[in-house]
Structure 1
Amino acid sequence: MNFAFGSTEITAFWLTLKLALSTTLILMLFCIPLAWWLAKSKSWFAMLVESIVALPIVLPPTVLGFYLLIAFSPQTLLGEHYQALTGQQLAFSFYGILFASLIYSLPFAIQPLQATFSQLDKRLIETAQSLGARPLDCFISVVLPICKNGIISAALLCFAHTVGEFGVILMIGGNIPGETQVLSIALFDAVESLQYEKAHNMAAGLLIFSMVILIIMNMLKRGQQRATD
């Protein structure tokens, strides 16, 4: 197997990296406080939010992509305002697939974070509060450092899941080189055009990447377990 990559694959690689990094950064900023609230709240509203957040796990990507495609239409409020501001459609653009990716990868960020926060020993928080720490101080100085391995694992899972996204990206972005053609779409395009060597190269690269991410996540998980024991 020859691991020589052409300009199409390199462009798709950088676009995939940009999408995955943007999705992971935005979701982690949003999901860390949300996951903390979900882990601590017992209200029916939290249960409803948790169920809505988990929808992309069970919902076929084409269904989610179809409804997002309708939502991004210039005839809708969102699509109309975006087109008025930028002069472009939201669908079949990088920001369209970024928005779709944020929704589709949401549970893959929330659920690991929520599980990590749920396993935290409550006595540590109670001790910090008894020493006069305010809730925000307690969260920043106690919760985040103790749960750092779980947070990193959630970020890695979110990043890896975004790299592997296909159905939603294809529905929302199509296959536009340099704009929406990420690695998974480029791989599909290579197979469709019978360029099997190119497809092998991309598939092998994604397989190796996935294995490395899983190994790192398992190492972090074991480290987190030792820290909480």
Structure 2
Amino acid sequence: MPELLAALSPQDWQAILLTLKLCLYTTLILLLLGTPLAWWLSLSHSKLRTAVQAIVALPLVLPPTVLGFYLLLLLGPHGVVGGALEQLGLNHLAFSFSGILIGSVIYSLPFTVQPLLESFRRMGPRPLEVAATLGAGKLDQLFSVVLPLCRGGFIIAATLTFAHTLGEFGVILMLGGSIPGETQVLSVLIYDHTEAMNYAQAQQLSLGLVISAFAVLFIVYGLNRRFEREAAL
């Protein structure tokens, strides 16, 4: 491993730091947005619930290039969002870090919502009903009941989201291209190295991603077993 790190070029390190930044931002944003969405899905009996669930799960079956293509049309200079920003004197979001962050948030949405939804379902409404009878307000219920009982779901959701963002490629390449320091994340840099026949560099970065992915999955499965044992006690 030390030899692997020593062989990395400044461009490789730039891509690694950008990838970690994208993973961190995506995870934080999705925990903020995915928590109320998963909570609503766990309790709602609305007719819209099935449609919302299908939309949330869509990135799981949709080819990343398709999602990236439509986001490019939407956020580019001639798109609804990108065009509106251009008219306001701002830059459109295609081929920018903000653009790939939006794409990453949409593409990783199910990896946050699904674990949280399952965790909320296992908890059920009973603990909150008991807390309400004891005079706990909504905010108090969140911090004293939901977070402690569902901490496993939050940890797994954050870990899976971070890991999934780490390996994103199709959406980012379509929407952001390969701009060093702006949109050139690790997966795109590996592609660039391979195209340039720099197989040694591509292999080093790929090996690093494989090791990282294995470590993350090992942690997720280990935590899942631990929380299952705790729930059984």
- How does the TM-score come out when normalised to structure 1? 0.94
Q: Determine helix, strand or coil for the equivalent of 2:117.
A: helix
1:196-215 alignment runs, 5 A limit: 196-215=199-218
Aligned counterparts of 1:190 and 1:180: Cα–Cα separation in 2: 15
Q: Determine helix, strand or coil for the equivalent of 1:19.
A: helix
In structure 2, the residue matched to 1:157 is 160
Query: Residue 190 of structure 2 contacts residue 205 of structure 2 at CA under 8 Å; is this kept in 1?
Result: yes
- Note the residue ranges of structure 2 that are not aligned, 5 or more in a row: none
1:128 is displaced (CA, Å) by 1.6
Query: Residue 120 of structure 1 contacts residue 228 of structure 1 at CA under 8 Å; is this kept in 2?
Result: no
Distance 1:83 1:19, change over 3 A: farther
Does residue 49 of structure 1 match 2:17? no
In structure 2, the residue matched to 1:69 is 72
Aligned counterparts of 1:99 and 1:176: Cα–Cα separation in 2: 17
Could you tell me which of 128, 132, 140 is aligned with 1:129? 132
Q: Determine helix, strand or coil for the equivalent of 1:179.
A: coil
- How does the TM-score come out when normalised to structure 2? 0.92
In structure 2, the residue matched to 1:83 is 86
Query: Residue 71 of structure 1 contacts residue 79 of structure 1 at CA under 8 Å; is this kept in 2?
Result: yes
Bigger Cα displacement from structure 2, 214-223 vs 198-207: 214-223
Aligned counterparts of 1:186 and 1:129: Cα–Cα separation in 2: 52
Calculate the aligned-residue CA RMSD, in Å: 1.6
Does residue 28 of structure 1 match 2:11? no
Bigger Cα displacement from structure 2, 68-77 vs 80-89: 80-89
Query: Residue 150 of structure 1 contacts residue 224 of structure 1 at CA under 8 Å; is this kept in 2?
Result: no
Query: Residue 26 of structure 2 contacts residue 104 of structure 2 at CA under 8 Å; is this kept in 1?
Result: yes
- Note the residue ranges of structure 1 that are not aligned, 5 or more in a row: none
1:102 is displaced (CA, Å) by 0.8
Could you tell me which of 144, 161, 186 is aligned with 1:183? 186
In structure 2, the residue matched to 1:15 is 18
1:137 is displaced (CA, Å) by 2.5
Bigger Cα displacement from structure 2, 169-178 vs 121-130: 121-130
1:215 is displaced (CA, Å) by 1.3
1:72 is displaced (CA, Å) by 1.1
